[in-house]
Structure 1
């Protein structure tokens, strides 16, 4: 059975948010959130392989996919984007839901969870490399330069209109997405139609809000981040791409690899082959871990490992 897919918009204070829904709205909800400069379409390969007992809602964050940008000029912070999740939750009047995020979407999930406690029942993180942006005290000057000063020093670039962006042929744009993300051509084409617009003369241009490249993360120390994350009480699954692990992207948050660091014994992690976008490029492998966790939480993974 193939899940029915629908797409529509919901209203936020600054404009419209685009969502893609898969499945039956009467089933338990799963909020699906992508990372920076992406769209909900990148989850299609994975959603096709997950249990049909859930209602999957893919949110396209402001300035990504077909969602409207937030007001121009201002910097975008992680906490600003978290409110996009709340707009969706209020729209559907969910009492609780499962959260499935990728990359920056993972950070949005755990910030939402501590901001709106009791709403998320389980959280699934797919290569949450943005968790590795912990800021030790001696690196605060570097954080300020990279997160704040760089924005104002390149203000025009980050606030340029789509009309000022470079144009591409369709083939060039597909090739760019495939090289940047490692996507198959099929996934690249599905993504392309959501992140580009016609530019005349048969050319197209990307429509991402440039500020998405520089979303500001709060300068949390590794110790503070550890406390926030390990004290969550809900079941947590973290899937790490082996390529990201080997590139030492988690060096400031080693607790992710230590399940005993979680006093509630509620966290499981798995390293899987592939790169950062393994949810799209290695969906079959990812689904074998995500599916039992969706159905049974931590027990689903523990029982699976004993078979």
Structure 2
């Protein structure tokens, strides 16, 4: 039986409401916590799950306000520090002593913040195009950071806190087209994602249901130098995939040190062909490396382990 055939879904309680969990595999196997990116749903990992080894238990978390998880209380803006607590809720629920972390985009910085604040809990970490780690501001541009997040949020307060009844509506075809165009995904996975990111709006129309605040989640005003020092303190063996399209468009210009093999013995960075959602569109480009890493750690990636 494949991992997808073993998919299960349920809810766990957080202080502000329910978090939706989608799991693949056998609960007696070692746990891998899976976290998606901004305005996404955990089912976007299904194409990748179909290619991963079945001797792990993959627990997919839908972040607050995404998929079927409840939003955090309305009104105030969200920060990565707010969202990272969702990981703690899951860890406490399952009473994990250790776990592997697999994440995409926004989920990657949440994982790093959790790892830095709970050293030793993660046994391995897998980051899929972690462009959020490269989101830094030099000290002299602090005013731009404040404007980008806080002024933008409160100047557009109604937009980010709009009641569902006032949100734009689309035909199902239009909603699918928007997802496919924005992410470069095919119609099949777009339908699966849309089924958890949209809701009926009457008259045969749908509206997007995710919490708009997650699209402007506040990141700390860390400088490039500070992030570099933080990452060098991470002891968790980490496999990072960088999409070459993200690199070409300058997403990692502030993290050139990351591609230097001498930066840290705890990190292995692989540049793969594709866009930000390469793990969804071309999961085969990352799955074999993830499998080696899960089974054998960093040595397995260098051919030092028997594969």
**TM-score by shorter chain over 0.5:** yes
1:213 to 2:215 alignment:
yes
Please list every run of 5 or more consecutive structure 1 residues that lacks an aligned counterpart in the other structure.
none
Does the 8 Å CA contact 2:170/2:207 hold for their aligned counterparts?
A: yes
Does the 8 Å CA contact 2:289/2:301 hold for their aligned counterparts?
A: yes
1:234 to 2:236 alignment:
yes
1:126 to 2:115 alignment:
no
Alignment CA distance shift 1:220-1:285 (3 Å)? same
Match of 2:250 in 1: 248
2:69 counterpart (67, 88, 91):
67
1:296 to 2:296 alignment:
yes
Q: How far does the alpha carbon of each residue in 1:245-272 deviate from its partner, in whole angstroms, 9 at most, with x for none?
A: 111111112221112111xx11111010
1:138 to 2:140 alignment:
yes
Structure-to-structure mapping, 1:1-307, within 5 angstroms: 1-3=1-3, 4-262=6-264, 265-303=265-303
Number of aligned residue pairs: 305
Counterparts of 1:38 and 1:304 in 2: how far apart (Å)?
36
* 1:259 partner SS: coil
Deviation at 1:234, TM superposition (A): 1.3
Does the 8 Å CA contact 1:134/1:253 hold for their aligned counterparts?
A: no
Deviation at 1:306, TM superposition (A): 11
Counterparts of 2:120 and 2:150 in 1: how far apart (Å)?
33
Does the 8 Å CA contact 2:26/2:57 hold for their aligned counterparts?
A: yes
Please give the TM-score of this superposition, normalised by the length of structure 2: 0.97
Q: How far does the alpha carbon of each residue in 1:17-65 deviate from its partner, in whole angstroms, 9 at most, with x for none?
A: 0010000000000000001000001000001101111000110000111
Please give the TM-score of this superposition, normalised by the length of structure 1: 0.97
Deviating beyond 2 angstroms after TM superposition, the runs of 4 or more aligned structure 1 residues are: 304-307
Deviation at 1:305, TM superposition (A): 10
Please list every run of 5 or more consecutive structure 2 residues that lacks an aligned counterpart in the other structure.
none
Counterparts of 2:90 and 2:11 in 1: how far apart (Å)?
10
Counterparts of 1:306 and 1:25 in 2: how far apart (Å)?
27
Alignment CA distance shift 1:212-1:283 (3 Å)? same
Q: How far does the alpha carbon of each residue in 1:274-297 deviate from its partner, in whole angstroms, 9 at most, with x for none?
A: 000011001011102111011111
